[in-house]
Homo-oligomer: A and B are copies of this chain.
Amino acid sequence: MKLTRECEYAVRCVLYLSHEGKEIVVGRRRIAEEMEIPGPFLGKIAQQLARSNIIEIVQGSKGGFRLVPSPEKLTLLDVIEAVMGKVYLNDCVLRPDSCFRSPTCHVRLVWKAATERLRETLRKTSFAKLLEAESEYLSSD
């Protein structure tokens, strides 16, 4: 029932790119250092983000990653599901037939509702909002 570190790292990476700005290419090594992500692991995660069109990977010298959508349109759910696949709390939510109890089971309906609530919370949070909140916090120092 917990986030994987992969998700945590993916969010950090996108947060960093959002902060730098949409069109800026940032080197993998720099993101890894500043966001405390193991370098080669970030490479793997980036590939997944790229497959979902969240970032673009620029190869070669001076290469790195660049944010594709604007932070206003990009949500936590987008990033999480890019690396984890669809979010759900129990197998039976996605594949009812995986459990012999499912024809009558009402626990499944609870998992289903809870899953939808969770996805909704994540869908409502854009990276623009996150950045804004963090910068407000800093400026009120």
Contact = CB atoms under 8 A, between A and B. Distances in A.
Interface stretch (A21-29, A48-56, A66-74, A99-107): A99-107
Main secondary structure of the interface of A (DSSP, over half): helix
A125 to B, nearest CB: 5
28 contacts: A1-B3, A1-B4, A1-B7, A1-B84, A1-B88, A2-B89, A2-B90, A3-B90, A3-B111, A8-B90, A15-B107, A35-B101, A36-B100, A104-B134, A104-B138, A106-B130, A106-B134, A107-B130, A110-B121, A110-B125, A110-B130, A113-B121, A114-B118, A114-B121, A114-B122, A117-B117, A117-B118, A118-B118
Given A1-B4, A2-B91, A104-B134, 18 more contacts: A1-B1, A1-B2, A1-B3, A1-B88, A2-B89, A3-B89, A11-B107, A12-B101, A36-B100, A76-B107, A76-B110, A104-B138, A106-B130, A106-B134, A107-B130, A109-B133, A110-B121, A117-B121
